[in-house]
Structure 1
């Protein structure tokens, strides 16, 4: 079965313009046709009591008020014969109608072009509120800022009702996301306290002189589990904070933050036999320094954790050609399929591990990175390396 390819649809502004032009031309053609018929009938009635006289130059003039009873005398006086008179009447009639069609068609064509251009401008003015709705939706999609509203003012027409519906929908979405973030933050705070108490009680029990070897082994296992839970709670809290747009921004040098974060992870990388290299250049962005440093810590931690023996991690800061501040962390490691990249940025997703496996992390690292970058108006991209590993790039506005 052969399918016919569908032609791309024209933009709605162009379609409205073509519709305006077509309607104007249709009305003009109808008006010209009606005028033609009326002029045809009017000339026929007008010539019933009118004679035409031939001049010496070969032209003819209208002689109003001529009566048919005077025709023999006028013929004798040099007037046109009756056959010539009818021919001249027909020629005059046809010339008048032809002139109407020619000049009317020319005028209609010019006015149609002018009306089409005017219709294009009017269509843009009519569609301006829809463009505002589209721009606001794109801004919300790119930045994740649900606080934006159209606040459209104007007559209570279809466009105004659409804008009000959009604002109402965004209000409900914002409330839903804020409630979700508030719940995560509250739950994280509430859970951190009992976990801290558990850790303290276990450490006290292990330090007792009467503690047996079985008790120590059990306490060590409990401390490991407790540490994983604390890491998970801290990750949830950071994710909730990262999804909130940063209001108080200050100038931040990414190269300086990268140097501090690298010093923290250098010993961890050395223990794992992984080389950590820096190639930083001063590049400034605006935002929250603590949250931006958390991005670098998470990227370095993942790059060291998901690496291979004798591997390396390379951290760079640059200014992109479009002026954006970029930070790139590239590392060796296992081969990552291109279709698995997006899943790595989802909460509780780990490379080559089950969602319930928390041996190598909580699965929130890259999700927190994306949330913080989005809250700063930035973006995160990850590209798998051919020989294994990832290259993750953070792009932030300067």
Structure 2
């Protein structure tokens, strides 16, 4: 934004300090005038003496006693000199004091310009005790740290998304080249392979759009019961679980919260789907539980499966991270299931916790703000 040139803050503060000092000096001199000179009479008369106004001006020798006019003539030049000294002292002292006070602001300005040029690793790190400038610097450092982490995450996400989107396009290009060079090739198999590749590209695009929508928090909030969403998700995915020889168990309390029902349903569906496709190869189990805690509702989805380490669990929710054990090769997914869950949870001011189960598998806990005075608790599901 273009602005007209103006006075610097340091110069304005200097003028303010000097002006205040001049005002204080003027008031002090005015006080001297009011409470001293006003009590001096214009003409002083001493009984029995003929007092001259100036030395040697009268017919008789005698002591010189100044009247008001004499004090005014003596007071005025000294008052002007004092005001001039106060002005010079105020300008010099104000300039030095303003520079010392604004020095942290200069460091903040330099850091801001470096950040605007793309150097997000720059930090101000003001020393000393806490004050307004240091609180501002600490807040700015925290903002830069969050921006740096966010930009790094977005760059990784963009690189991964580009790679994931390039894969189906490259496969499609290869299949088309093969079909063009081999006119006798069976087109039915080619069309089916192209359909699968195109479906994967569409799923990835829709997942990216859903992730962006959750990150932007562009949704309407309403009262939602997580226990009902858990039932809907398990009913929808029950055929997939039965196909893999898995059992799904749902139980818990009514868990009212506030948020977007479609997004929270997508979150629950992703968790249940993830628990199914990352389960054990034979007779695995998926448990979905809703509970109510003070000020929060909790959705827990856990599944059996291979033993996971804490290091592996800490990276599962990253975009395009995929597990290894799956009950069906046709559900490879796009690697955004838990990343979408994490974004939806964050958009609803909740927390997502992933922990490995002692016997193998994963436990995912979603904690969301509860609705106050939402009604009595009750059973929300049964085993299947």
Normalised to the residue count of structure 2, the TM-score between the two structures is: 0.50
Higher helix share: 1
Normalised to the residue count of structure 1, the TM-score between the two structures is: 0.48
